[in-house]
Amino acid sequence: MSSVVPVFRDSGFDAEATLNLGKAYDIACRSLHSKGRAPVFQELLAKKIIESAQRGERDPDRLAAIALGILGPFHRDVTRHFGLVPNFFMSAPDAPEIVEKLWDFAKSAYLENPIPALFKERLFVYLSRFCQVRYCIVRHCGFLVGYGHSSGDAEVAPQTRRSGFSRRHHHGGASSIRSIKV
């Protein structure tokens, strides 16, 4: 059963309603990409389920469908590119116009430029080292290792030691491991 049942119980619902709200939440979360369940997004789903239940809806399937209705064209577009909705695009739910402008910028500067996807992602990992906000390096490394699509390209395989994320170089019997640099 859902880990957010206490949230639903604390919202003043009886035991049966709490059980149904938990089921609705589980249904909604299962319908999302398994790696796209950011805590911010999960909180939005829970809030939407509570709002709908407060208006009288109790059917778990309908509650889940209503909660997932917040996935408008913007969220579908982001998910189509990345395989998930990065927290960056969930950072201002009360100001969707700002987030949508950030998305437009990300598309033009990051997704739609002609640099090959894998090189571009490695470049963003390298550049993120200089950003004071640690989210950038974590997110771009996450894309590289398969938590979403690198540079919005679903065809790019996750990077592991075996796939070339680091290579072993042999020099006259001695070996060293050196990360591939951009």
- HEC sequence for 11-38: CCCCHHHHHHHHHHHHHHHHHCCCCCCC
CA 144 to chain centroid, in Å, comes to 14
For 121-148, the pLDDT digits (tens) are: 889 899 999 988 888 888 888 888 887 7
> Looking at the whole model, is its pTM more than 0.85?
no
CA atoms within 13 A on the CB side of 86: 24
Per residue in 37-54, pLDDT tens?
556 677 778 888 999 999
* Residues in a beta bridge with 167: 178
